[in-house]
Structure 1
Amino acid sequence: MSGVDLNDIKRRMDGAITAFKSDISSLRTGRASANILDPVTVEAYGSRVPLNQVANVTVPEPRMLGVSIWDKSMVGAVDRAIRESNLGLNPIVDGQNLRIPLPELNEERRKSLVKLAHEYGEKAKVAARHVRRDGMDGLKKAEKDGSIGQDESRAQSEKVQKMTDDTISEVDRLLADKEKEIMQV
């Protein structure tokens, strides 16, 4: 029996969920979280690197982030990267450290965060559908080559479709939870 590697398909779909969880964890709710700065990249040493490769991010207070930059020459670049990151944050430079007060989330900002969460969700669903398409193409090819029969192909297709449905349901569930968390005042 050949066909497609269902474990590989499952692993790739789980990867789409993991990437989605990572994306939405960076969306800000009412509380400070070091993950907020995960999407920020800094122009450093001739290339763009994630912020966590040039600084430590801490949460000294519920509505404040602290960024300790390791290399003094990077302070300006980190400050600029955070300001330009579209997160609505304005760092206060304090030597080699940045203090970033988190503004209260207004209704408009909450809605734009929910919209961004939905974009991340759609990206994850598209990734899952790509994995499904690859699996289905593999099954069609295997059936055409004669390495599996029509019944086996249909059975595996149903398993691939079930994995896709489960993955999309999980994305929807995570998205609904995140939306509730963002909209909670």
Structure 2
Amino acid sequence: MAGGADLNDIKRRMDGAVTAFKSDIASLRTGRASANLLDTVMVEAYGSRVPLNQVANITVPEPRMLGVSIWDKQMVSAVDRGIRESNLGLNPIVDGQNLRIPLPELNEERRKSLVKLAHEYAEKGKVAARHVRRDGMEAAKKAEKDGDIGQDESRVLSDKIQKMTDETIVEIDKALAEKEKEIMQV
């Protein structure tokens, strides 16, 4: 499109907002074990802080248990400490080069706070999508003002951008509803 907003770029940026949101909620703990639960855990390794998945393998041997196989036996205590200090409320059991992490039951209060956090993540994703919409609308208006596109073309472009925004927000709401159901499931 000569001038105007690049719809492919807008779509890519809106998809990025959804991906970031889904990544944020994946780290929220539900009643069931998920390897994503430990995505945010950082470990002191070889003089720097690295994500846990760079020093160990994470498995889900049972619905309420995580397994962590640490590749270097000198890293066991650092991984144990990283998980304990991660504010996830987990207490690993050291078994040689492996850690077993039982997941405690979520109480009602904790479930509600996780749902609230999921809603905050969703709002952050929606705000990001709206920022992309604003940038696209401004580009369309500028192109019209500069004479690169006509008024009709500008209106069509604005409608397409609004439609993309609406679809993105629906996708975020759908993922939020699924996560909320997962968190509240006892």
1:167 to 2:168 alignment: yes
State the AA in 2 paired with 1:122: E
Q: In structure 2, what is the Cα distance between the partners aligned to 1:162 and 1:36?
A: 33
Long gaps (5+) in structure 1: none
Q: In structure 2, what is the Cα distance between the partners aligned to 1:155 and 1:56?
A: 50
Q: In structure 1, what is the Cα distance between the partners aligned to 2:133 and 2:182?
A: 30
Q: In structure 2, what is the Cα distance between the partners aligned to 1:43 and 1:116?
A: 27
Q: How does 1:18-97 map to 2 (within 5 A)?
A: 18-97=19-98
Following TM superposition, where does structure 1 have runs of at least 4 consecutive aligned residues deviating by more than 4 angstroms? none
Q: Is 55-64 or 34-43 further displaced after alignment?
A: 34-43
- Alignment deviations for residues 25-81 of structure 1 (CA, whole Å, 9 cap, x no partner): 222222111111112222223333221111000111221111111122222221122
Q: In structure 2, what is the Cα distance between the partners aligned to 1:148 and 1:50?
A: 48
Q: In structure 2, what is the Cα distance between the partners aligned to 1:155 and 1:147?
A: 14
Long gaps (5+) in structure 2: none
State the AA in 1 paired with 2:175: L
Aligned to 1:88, the other structure's residue is in SS state coil
State the AA in 1 paired with 2:137: M
Q: In structure 2, what is the Cα distance between the partners aligned to 1:90 and 1:136?
A: 50
- Alignment deviations for residues 99-144 of structure 1 (CA, whole Å, 9 cap, x no partner): 1110011101111111121121112112111211221221122122
1:112 to 2:123 alignment: no
Q: Is 162-171 or 46-55 further displaced after alignment?
A: 46-55
| TM-score normalised to structure 1 length | 0.93
| TM-score normalised to structure 2 length | 0.92
| Cα RMSD, aligned residues only | 1.5
Q: Is 132-141 or 55-64 further displaced after alignment?
A: 132-141
1:6 to 2:3 alignment: no
Match of 2:145 in 1: 144
Q: In structure 2, what is the Cα distance between the partners aligned to 1:116 and 1:44?
A: 30
